[in-house]
Amino acid sequence: MNLAVALGRRATGLACALSCVRAAAHRPGSGSIIARSLFARVAPTNPALWARLRAGDAREANLTTVASSGTGGKPTMVATLEEFDGALKEAGDKLVIVDFTATWCGPCKMIGPVFDKLAAEYGDRAVFLKVDVDENSDTAADCGIRAMPTFQFYKSGGKLAEFAGADKDKLLELLKEHI
């Protein structure tokens, strides 16, 4: 799992920022635009993570506690297949719920707030991930996604269930069944 997974949506487009952070993080007012942007986004909301980034401690075990501790009430956007595989591995025996979505998908827009609400309610007991199928087509292809939205449920690295469609009752039913 890498920086983008650790920061979720806040790191979209900033996956390459770690090298800039190491170079400029000791003086947040200096350095590259990416490092300053990362500081502006991370420091106010997660001082502990910023301190680890400043220290150059980007090892997976220390930087990313998102999957092992839940997603803190927000779904985490996954940008690559490697991040997806890392998130499943980091989750261990926690339930992982993945929302495969697209920005142009009407039903995805309808069910999105429901998924976000479930993440807020169950985020301490499950990991909630989102995959934009247009931005992360490798993961979508690897998972066999053919329709949006599709929800997949994983535990201990294995897939438990899957369904396609914006069915909030089915989403809640499978969440409660597998949590």
| Contact residues for 16 (Cβ-Cβ < 8 A; gap 6+) | 34
The catalytically annotated residue of 16, 20, 108, 143 is 108
Residues 6+ apart with CB under 8 A from 154: 88, 91, 95, 96, 97, 98, 160
Please indicate whether residue 105 is annotated as part of the active site. Answer: yes
CA 166 – CA 29 distance, rounded (Å): 45
Rounded Cα distance between 179 and 174, Å, is: 8
The catalytic position among 16, 20, 105, 143 is 105
Enzyme catalytic residues = 105, 108
